[in-house]
Structure 1
Amino acid sequence: MVKKRHIRVGRLLDVPFSAPVGTPTGVEVLRLSELRNRVSGDVLSTPQRPDFHHLLTLTEGSLRQTVDFATYILEPRSWLWIRPGQVNQWGDLAHVDGSLVLFQQGFLSPATVAGARIDDPHAPVLHHPSPGDVAALRLATDHLTEEFDAFGRLPIEIHTATLRHLLSVLVLRLACLPTPAGAPVAEISPTFMIFRDAVEAHFTHTRRVEDYARELGYSPRTLSRATLAGAGLGAKDYIDRRVVLEAKRLLAHSEQTATRIADHLGFASATHFSKYFHQRTGQTPITFRNAIRGHTEP
């Protein structure tokens, strides 16, 4: 976030990654106190849709963070992983400190990307490590921070390779954290995973379960059973939830009109889109946009 080029879209921010001058491209490590001192609170609290990853953990205080319109409470030793494309709103950083790791897609090796499921848009946002995992993650973060701060002591290509390896350790450990004891475990079947990926690829083209069933070779009932077991809701509701999420992202983060958003999401008209959105959120698109831009609860 620090030393990035912020491109304003109305009151909103599109945030591309730009490494600090004199450091390797693709990764940045900083303390939240640095972020607080360099970027104003009104900029941080503005909805942003960065095109790079955020790994955030606290050493003191408590932070209320909003990611894709869901609120997460970050406490010391827990971790927040915000992925490219998600809409992020920072909470109040006045009384917190911790570490923030920013890294660009393409910085890590393909093996790490696959092993840590870095490209998975459905991966959890908040992580609560066990005491043993907390120590390992802290050690990985400290090593990464020390290496980032040691720029100039090694040739740039060696320094960059070392950062890549140290960051790989951190993301692999985060991605492989066990499910907390007592937490419900969803039944992620191959059928659900195939359907989930199909929805991610085609939700702007069709919202009909029958279309996905025909394309994937399953019955609509089979898809609904698999989705209920894997996500806790039926196949149609799952599709609608993804469409609404994208609509919220565009309403919060862009200046596109309802007509353009409706067209992008495959609706016949802005009227159809507005009715669909209102039925599923209890708000019109304009009411939602105004609430987000006024920094109130949607």
Structure 2
Amino acid sequence: MVKNRHDPGREIPEISFAPPVGTPAGVEVLSLTELRHRVPGERLTAPQRPDFHHLITLTGGTLWHTVDFTAYALEPGSWLWVRPGQVQQWGDLTHADGTLILFRQDFLDPATAAGARTEDPHAPILRRPLPDDAQALRLAADHLAAEFHALGQLPLEIHTAALRHVLAVLVLRLAHLTGPVGSPAPDPDATYLRFRDAVEKDFARTRRVEDYAEALGYSARTLSRATLASAGLGAKEFIDRRVVLEAKRLLAHSDRTAARIADRLGFSSATHFSKYFHQRTGQTPIAFRDTIRGHAPSTTSTPR
């Protein structure tokens, strides 16, 4: 299912996708019971950064799952979507029944990936669908599981294509769930998407909105308007939140000094990094590290 790729120089264990022998490369469907039997509990509860997508849904019991310092409560019918690059930790699976769907970003066709916003690290993680949506999602998940376990009944290329199409139905429905008022959230515009991708690539190189504006061919004001409309915050705050998230990941899951983390994130000194972090979190880097290692995650989210 998965393969650890970790060496002493890495601060967070990276998990790469490794499909079962003989199955189509790029997707796997298994029950949480299978996962519990296959992977030791201490490996599941340790921080990990997968390079592939996780879709988790429960049919019975409850489960807490932590993604980037937020603990999410799953109940039957709710869905959790963990994207590549996010740091996750599994909770106790003893009393949880459900389905886990794993897939690589490149398994879906480009149009589906774009329509489902699979590359958006800011897309919703936890969803609790309304009854009609819940039934459609359950049908899609059951169909995907049946198709995955029907290996050998069709030529491999046809089997793979069928899996790709059924998974597309599932992720498109998940990405465009209607809210309580019955209207889908607006799609982000192209300006925001280009800015978002540039920040993901270069946040450790520059924190200046002007640098991104120049590289992308926009004004700083245009970037701020687009980011505010799509993400609900200005361009500068968007950049700062991404930097702080990576800083928190490195502080929580590595033993690197503040000076080494400062260098990794493009700060001129540990002092500059400490001031920047304190201004945006209310804690020094070392105080944050002590807090996060001494207590369970304190920020929680319940299904919605």
1:236 deviation in Å?
2.7
Q: For 1:46, give the aligned amino acid.
A: A
Aligned residues of 1:87 and 1:253 also touching (Cα < 8 A) = no
Which is worse superposed, 218-227 or 277-286? 218-227
Q: For 2:118, give the aligned amino acid.
A: I
1:66 deviation in Å?
1.3
Q: Per the alignment, do residues 217 and 157 of structure 1 end up closer, same or farther by CA in structure 2, a change over 3 Å counting?
A: closer
Q: For 1:114, give the aligned amino acid.
A: A
Give per-residue Cα distances to partners, 1:80-126, cap 9 Å, x unaligned: 11110001111121111110000112111122112212122221111
Aligned residues of 2:15 and 2:49 also touching (Cα < 8 A) = yes
Q: Partners of 1:289 and 1:74 in 2: how far apart?
A: 27
Partner of 2:154: 154
Q: Partners of 2:110 and 2:154 in 1: how far apart?
A: 25
Q: For 1:244, give the aligned amino acid.
A: V
SS at match of 2:250: helix
Aligned residues of 1:47 and 1:252 also touching (Cα < 8 A) = no
Partner of 1:30: 30
Which is worse superposed, 132-141 or 207-216? 207-216
Which is worse superposed, 206-215 or 262-271? 206-215
Partner of 1:278: 278
Q: For 2:50, give the aligned amino acid.
A: P
Q: For 2:129, give the aligned amino acid.
A: P
Count of residue pairs the alignment pairs up:
296
Q: Per the alignment, do residues 294 and 23 of structure 1 end up closer, same or farther by CA in structure 2, a change over 3 Å counting?
A: farther
Partner of 2:39: 39
SS at match of 2:81: strand
1:213 deviation in Å?
4.7
Q: Partners of 1:160 and 1:213 in 2: how far apart?
A: 41
Q: Partners of 1:266 and 1:241 in 2: how far apart?
A: 15
Q: Partners of 1:21 and 1:42 in 2: how far apart?
A: 25
Aligned residues of 1:186 and 1:229 also touching (Cα < 8 A) = no
Give per-residue Cα distances to partners, 1:224-243, cap 9 Å, x unaligned: 45544443434332221111
Partner of 2:301: none
Partner of 1:79: 79
Partner of 2:2: 4
1:53 deviation in Å?
0.3
1:223-262 equivalences in 2 (<5 Å): 223-224=223-224, 226-254=226-254, 256-262=256-262
Partner of 1:296: 296
1:274 deviation in Å?
2.5
SS at match of 1:6: strand
**TM (normalized to structure 2)?**
0.84
Amino-acid identity (%): 67
Which is worse superposed, 84-93 or 259-268? 259-268
Where structure 2 has 5 or more consecutive residues not aligned to the other structure, the ranges are 299-304
Q: Partners of 2:255 and 2:7 in 1: how far apart?
A: 7
Give per-residue Cα distances to partners, 1:2-61, cap 9 Å, x unaligned: x42224456953211101122221111011111112222221111110000001111012
Which is worse superposed, 17-26 or 187-196? 187-196
SS at match of 2:56: strand
Q: Per the alignment, do residues 26 and 293 of structure 1 end up closer, same or farther by CA in structure 2, a change over 3 Å counting?
A: farther
Partner of 2:115: 115
Q: Partners of 2:163 and 2:245 in 1: how far apart?
A: 34
1:287 deviation in Å?
4.2
Aligned residues of 1:78 and 1:126 also touching (Cα < 8 A) = yes
Q: For 1:203, give the aligned amino acid.
A: F
Aligned residues of 1:48 and 1:253 also touching (Cα < 8 A) = no
Partner of 2:92: 92
Is 1:136 equivalent to 2:136 in the alignment?
yes
Which is worse superposed, 222-231 or 195-204? 222-231
Aligned residues of 2:178 and 2:185 also touching (Cα < 8 A) = no
Q: For 1:4, give the aligned amino acid.
A: V
1:67 deviation in Å?
1.0
Aligned residues of 1:9 and 1:254 also touching (Cα < 8 A) = no
1:168 deviation in Å?
1.3
Where structure 1 has 5 or more consecutive residues not aligned to the other structure, the ranges are none
**TM (normalized to structure 1)?**
0.86
Q: Partners of 1:273 and 1:168 in 2: how far apart?
A: 42
Partner of 2:204: 204
SS at match of 1:129: coil
